[in-house]
Structure 1
Amino acid sequence: MLKEFQEFISRGTVVDLAVGVIVGAAFNSLVSAITTYLLNPLIGLIIGQIDLSDMKFQVLGATFLIGDLINAIINFLIIMFVVFLIVKMMNRMRRDGSRSKFDQNGDEIPDPQTEYLQQIRDLLRYQQRNDHNRRY
C-alpha cells in the first residue's frame, strides 16, 4: 500500500496539481493586495471616496458592503484575465508542438486529420480522372 501511495504521489499530475494550488493561492494573495492597496485608492479618487472598502449602504437596517463586493469583482476579473492568458499561451504552445511529431526512428507521424483529408483529395482526383476518361 505504501508503494502504491508513493507511485501515486510521484505521478506528474498529482505534483502538478499541488504546485498549481500553491501558486494559485499565492497569486490570489497578490491580486488581493494589488486590488486593496493600489486599485481601490485609484477608484476611490475617481468616485470621490478615499476608502472603497468602507463603501456601504443600509436598507431597513440591513447593511450592504458594496466596497467588499467591488473588491471581489475586481479580484475575480484580474484572476480570470490571467487564467485566460495562460490558457491561450498553453493552447498556442500545444498547437505549435503538435504540428510535427516524430516517432522513435525520426520519421514524421502524420496527423490523422491531414491524412484523412489527403485520402479525400486522392479519391476526388481518381474520380475526376475516371470521369475525364469516360468522356473521351
Structure 2
Amino acid sequence: MWEEFKKFALKGNVIDLAVGVVIGSAFGKIVTSLVNDIIMPIFGLFMGGVNFSALSYPPGEEGIKYGSFIQTVVDFFIIAFSIFLVIRLIGRFRRKEEEEIIEEVEADVKEELLTEIRDLLKQQAEANNHNSRQH
C-alpha cells in the first residue's frame, strides 16, 4: 500500500497539480490586490463611492444582508473580468510565439524541399548527360 501511495503521490500529474494550486493561490492574491487596491477604487469613483455591503432588510445588524451579497456578486464580476483580460493578454503572447515557431518550421521545410528538388534536378541532368553520351 505504501508503494502504491508513493507512486500516486510522486506521479507527474499530482506534482503538476500541486504546483498549479500553489501558483493559483499566489495568483489569486495578485488578482485580489488588483481588484481591491486598483480596480475597486476606480470603480468606486465612477459609481460615486457606492458600497452595497451595508444594505440590509430590515435595517440593522440582524436583518437579511442582501447588500453584502450584491457587493460579493459585483466583486466576482470584476475579478472574473480582470482574470479574463489577463488570460487574453497571455493568450496573445502565446499565439505570437506559436506563429513564430510555425514560421521557422515552415522555412525549414521549404528549405529542405528546395534542397531535395535541386538534388533531383541534378540527378536528372546527370542521367540526361549520361544517356546523351551513350547515343
TM range (shorter): 0.5 to 0.7
What is the CA RMSD across the aligned residues, in angstroms?
3.8
**Structure whose alpha-carbon radius of gyration is higher:** 2
> What is residue 128 of structure 1 aligned with on the other side?
none
Q: Which has the higher helix share?
A: 2
Residues in 2 aligned to 1:109 and 1:5: alpha-carbon distance in whole angstroms: 42
Tell me the equivalent position of 2:131.
none
Which whole-Å deviations, capped at 9, do the CAs of 1:48-69 have from their partners, x for residues lacking one?
Answer: 336x36254549x572422111
1:29 paired to 2:29: yes
C-alpha distance 109-72 of structure 1, shift in aligned 2 (>3 A): same
Q: Which has the higher contact order (CA 8 A, sep 6+)?
A: 2
Q: Give the structure-1-normalised TM-score.
A: 0.53
- 1:92 corresponds to which residue? 96
> How far, CA to CA, are the matches of 1:46 and 1:55 in structure 2?
19
Give the gaps of 5 or more residues in structure 2: 59-63, 114-135
**Identity in percent:** 23
Preserved contact between residue 32 and residue 79 of structure 2 (Cα < 8 Å): yes
The offset of 1:7, in angstroms, is: 8.2
CA displacement at 1:83 relative to structure 2: 0.6
Q: Secondary structure at the match of 2:49?
A: coil
Distance 1:62 1:94, change over 3 A: same
